[in-house]
């Protein structure tokens, strides 16, 4: 049985779990202790020390997009990608936007509100910036939904399972799709699916005890990875000081250098 290294709150993990469940693939899960290296099997499966990572017999795959492609290749039924090349490209672009743009906004909201990286006026400014950006990207998804039942097209699939973790997290954080929008109705329909119900329940359960996170960050016991689009979000949205503080307190890290 494939094993998924995960954390229930990770949107990248949620994409993969949705695909596994929608395809009816039995899998087991393990939450690696990334702060202490995650263990030998996890580190071998993903030298970047990021979740998700999939171990399927002697095959190891990291990165949620590559894992989705592996699942589609190995278990093609039911297909998560639409049939036509143009539609496949369209839903992959939805995934790209959600992975590299939308996700960074939600992540920043957690950094500010849950991990306590900013307070007072700076926190208010950053949350307001995030809200504006979410409204913009939700507008883009709304246009993608025009004339379609699902972001994927006629059937639920890759476009939906890629967008759901981002749209849902934004909504949970107080920035839902516009009232009366097609995206609002889409979110409700995805939330009703058994796969999404399981993903949401696990995410909610995993947040128990999160009130201690600011102290763990402040004491340097919890180190967060600032990479790629997440780091860019901080720099361009007015949070350069958070990055500099994190570097001096050593409670942020950049991507692992490979050897």
Ligand X SMILES: N[C@@H](CCC(=O)N[C@@H](CS)C(=O)NCC(=O)O)C(=O)O
- H or E, element range at 92: helix 85-97
Q: How far apart are CA 114 and CA 56, in angstroms?
A: 34
Question: Please, which residue, 64 or 251, has the CB nearer to ligand X?
Answer: 64
Decide if residue 6 touches ligand X (CB under 6 A): no
Stretch that binds ligand X, among 50-58, 75-83, 128-136, 168-176 (CB under 6 A): 50-58
By CB under 6 A, how many residues form the interface with ligand X?
A: 12
Contact status: 242 vs ligand X (CB under 6 A): no
**87 lies in the binding site for ligand X (CB under 6 A):** no
Q: In the chain, count of helices (H) and strands (E)?
A: 12, 6
Q: How far is the CB of 9 from ligand X (least distance, A)?
A: 7
By the rule CB under 6 A, 50 interacts with ligand X: yes
Is 63 a binding residue for ligand X by CB under 6 A? The answer is: yes
Pick the stretch among 47-55, 114-122, 150-158, 199-207 that binds ligand X (CB under 6 A): 47-55
What is the distance between the alpha carbons of residues 182 and 169, in angstroms, rounded to a whole number? 17
Question: What span, in angstroms and rounded, lies between the C-alpha atoms of 237 and 252?
Answer: 18
CB of 53 to ligand X, least distance (A): 8
Q: How many CB atoms lie within 10 A of CB 230?
A: 19
Single out the segment in contact with ligand X by CB under 6 A; choices: 44-52, 84-92, 145-153, 174-182. 44-52
Q: Segment 178-237, which members bind ligand X (CB under 6 A)? A: 224-225
- CA–CA gap between residue 259 and residue 93 (Å, rounded): 31
Q: 73 Cβ partners below 8 Å, 6+ apart?
A: none
CB contact at 8 A, 30 and 41: no
Q: Which residues make up the interface to ligand X (CB under 6 A)?
A: 10, 12, 34, 50-52, 63-65, 99, 224-225
């Amino acid at each position: 049985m494939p094993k998924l290294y995960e954390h229930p709150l990770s949107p990248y993990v949620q994409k993969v779990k949705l695909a596994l469940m929608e395809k009816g693939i039995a899998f087991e899960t393990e939450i690696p202790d990334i702060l202490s290296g995650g263990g030998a099997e996890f580190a071998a499966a993903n030298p970047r020390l990021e979740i998700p990572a999939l171990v399927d017999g002697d095959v190891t795959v990291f990165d949620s997009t590559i894992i989705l492609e592996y699942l589609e290749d190995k278990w093609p039924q039911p297909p998560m990608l639409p049939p036509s090349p143009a539609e496949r490209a369209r839903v992959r672009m939805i995934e790209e936007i959600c992975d590299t743009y939308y996700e960074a906004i939600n992540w920043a909201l957690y950094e500010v509100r849950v991990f306590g990286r900013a307070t007072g006026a700076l926190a208010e400014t950053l949350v307001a910036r995030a809200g504006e950006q979410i409204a913009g990207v939700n507008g883009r998804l709304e246009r993608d939904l025009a004339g379609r039942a699902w972001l994927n097209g006629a059937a639920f699939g890759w476009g939906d399972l890629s967008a759901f973790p981002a749209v849902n997290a934004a909504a949970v954080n107080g920035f839902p799709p516009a009232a009366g929008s097609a995206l609002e109705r889409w979110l409700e329909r995805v939330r009703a699916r058994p796969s999404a119900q399981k993903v949401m329940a696990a995410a909610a359960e995993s947040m128990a005890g999160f009130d201690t996170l600011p102290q763990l960050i402040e004491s340097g016991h919890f180190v967060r990875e600032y990479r790629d689009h997440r780091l860019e979000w901080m720099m361009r949205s007015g949070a350069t000081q958070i990055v500099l503080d994190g570097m001096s307190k050593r409670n942020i890290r950049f991507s692992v250098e490979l050897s």
